[in-house]
A and B are shown apart, each in its own frame.
Chain A
Amino acid sequence: GQNIDQPTEMTATEGAIVQINCTYQTSGFNGLFWYQQHAGEAPTFLSYNVLDGLEEKGRFSSFLSRSKGYSYLLLKELQMKDSASYLCAVRDQAGNMLTFGGGTRLMVKP
Chain B
Amino acid sequence: DTGVSQNPRHKITKRGQNVTFRCDPISEHNRLYWYRQTLGQGPEFLTYFQNEAQLEKSRLLSDRFSAERPKGSFSTLEIQRTEQGDSAMYLCASSPRGEQFFGPGTRLTVL
A interface list, Cβ under 8 A from B: 4, 31, 33, 35, 41-45, 48, 87, 89, 95-103
Mark interface residues in B29-41 (1 if CB within 8 Å of A CB, else 0). 0000100000011
B1 to chain A, nearest CB (A): 13
Interface of B is mostly: loop
In whole angstroms, how far apart are the Cα atoms of A101 and B42 in the complex?
Answer: 6
Asked whether B45 lies within 8 Å of A44 as measured between CB atoms, the reply is no
Question: Which residue among A41, A44, A45 has the maximum number of chain B CB atoms within 10 Å of its CB?
Answer: A45
Mark interface residues in B10-32 (1 if CB within 8 Å of A CB, else 0). 00000000000000000000000
In whole angstroms, how far apart are the Cα atoms of A101 and B45 in the complex?
Answer: 12
Asked whether A99 lies within 8 Å of B99 as measured between CB atoms, the reply is no
Q: Which residues of B contact A35 (CB under 8 A)?
A: 102
Pairs A–B under 8 Å by Cβ, sample size 21: A33-B99, A33-B100, A41-B104, A42-B4, A42-B103, A42-B105, A43-B43, A44-B102, A45-B100, A48-B98, A87-B43, A95-B97, A96-B55, A97-B56, A97-B59, A98-B45, A98-B100, A100-B42, A100-B44, A101-B42, A103-B40
Asked whether B98 lies within 8 Å of A43 as measured between CB atoms, the reply is no
Asked if B65 is at the interface of the complex by the 8 Å CB criterion, the answer is: no
Asked whether B98 lies within 8 Å of A31 as measured between CB atoms, the reply is yes
Asked if B79 is at the interface of the complex by the 8 Å CB criterion, the answer is: no
Q: Name A96's contact: one of B40, B48, B91, B104 (CB within 8 Å).
A: B48
